[in-house]
Amino acid sequence: MPNITIADFARSFGAAPEEFSARCLAAIEESDFSYRRFSQAERDAVILEVLRKIETDQQVIAAPERREVWQRGWAENLELFKKSGFDPRALVPKFLRENQPIRYDGDYILPANARFEYDYMTVFRIWLFQKYFVGLPGVYEFGCGTGLNLVLMAGLHPGGDYHGLDFVPAAVELVNSIGQHGDWRIQGHLFDMLHPDSAFKIEPGSGVLTFGALEQLASQHEAFLQYLLKQQPAVVVHVEPTIELYDEAKLFDYLAAAFHRKRGYTQGLLPRLQELEGQGRVKLLHVKRLGFGSLFMEGYTAIVWQPV
């Protein structure tokens, strides 16, 4: 069976293999990244499943009822976290589904490892956080959900202060519970990215992260970008689905873009940052589509920038 190698990860991330730390290499070594390709008939069945999902899906991003959905979801993770004796493994979001086809390198594949998507993203997050957040006094994750990223960051850089911000109370309670029961300097705060509170200050020299969070704003990201420009963090890292990087002349990409539009996920973030760069207001440091994602779309494009 094919296996994703260190060189493959580096190509996916837009990195050099020598950038990978011992921790990153260990994460690759400890997981099974083998997979098989589908037969033509199997691939057709996968495409049919995607088409049916696009046709029948009723979820609307940023609809008013979604707030309660997120509240219930993060409350479930909070209860699991408590019942597990505050085990960080209980923080994995339910939407990271196991045992399903994965989008990888321009095709659908079937991983041997049920946790393939989570393990792949763990390797990516270790590389990303060590590259852009090392040495910073703190990091603020907006739309932090379960706080899973904050725990990883705090483990990689225990000297920093980590802040998880979300618009539903269950997420804030969960992040504060993590901080109270672990050896991490982690705090939770209520924050609505659609209506940023200018009184909430980002400490100078700190980093900012969004990870599948701006996608939920249904393209209403301008107010949050303006908030960040005023706060002047040292670096901003987005990991978000980015429809502008699909090649819709190809069926594989066309299907992902169609699902992105059907749900109403955010569009225009990358073009807006490119426009701001043209105005001399930001500097884009890294833009890379990973070529990796779940069955219906690729939620993982890295966009890294800093205010000028």
- 91-137 pLDDT tens trace: 887 666 667 899 999 999 999 999 999 999 999 999 999 999 989 99
Q: Are 306 and 293 in contact (CB under 8 A)?
A: no
Of 202, 257, 253, the closest CA to residue 230 belongs to 202
Q: Could you tell me which CATH class the domain 63-93+124-307 is placed in?
A: alpha beta
Q: Is the dihedral of CA 201, 129, 191, 224 positive or negative?
A: positive
Q: Are 24 and 232 in contact (CB under 8 A)?
A: no
**∠ CA(98), CA(114), CA(10), 5° rounding?**
100
pLDDT mean across residues, the chain: 94
> At 82, is the pLDDT very low, low, confident or very high (cuts 50, 70, 90)?
confident
* Helix, strand, coil abundance in the chain, percent, nearest 5: 45, 20, 35
- Please tell me the distance from the alpha carbon of residue 83 to that of residue 85, in angstroms, as a whole number: 5
- State residue 96's pLDDT score: 67
pLDDT, tens digit, for every residue of 6-63? 999 999 999 999 999 999 999 999 999 999 999 999 999 999 999 999 999 998 887 7
Give, in order, the Cα–Cα distances in Å from 111 to each of 3, 35, 40, 43: 9, 4, 17, 14
- Give yes or no for a contact between 305 and 273, defined as CB atoms under 8 angstroms apart: yes
Find all residues with CB under 8 Å of 178, minimum gap 6, and list them: 81, 86, 88, 91, 147, 150, 151, 184, 186
Band of pLDDT at residue 239, cut at 50, 70 and 90: very high
How far is 80 from 88, CA to CA, in rounded Å?
10
Helices 169-181/148-156 angle, 10° precision: 30
% of the chain residues with pLDDT over 90? 82
Number of CB atoms found within 10 A of residue 191's CB:
21
Q: Are the beta carbons of 61 and 265 closer than 8 angstroms?
A: yes
Query: Which residues, in sequence order, are CB contacts of 71 under 8 Å at separation 6+?
Result: 168, 169, 170
Q: Reduced to 3 states, what is the DSSP secondary structure of residue 232?
A: coil
Largest interatomic CA distance in the chain: 57
Instruction: Look at residues 156, 150, 199 and name the one whose alpha carbon lies nearest to residue 177.
Output: 150
Asked whether the predicted pLDDT for residue 256 surpasses 80, the reply is yes
Domain ranges, ordered by start, for the chain:
63-93+124-307
Tell me the residue ranges of DSSP E strands in 81-240. 102-104, 107-111, 138-142, 161-166, 186-190, 207-211, 235-240
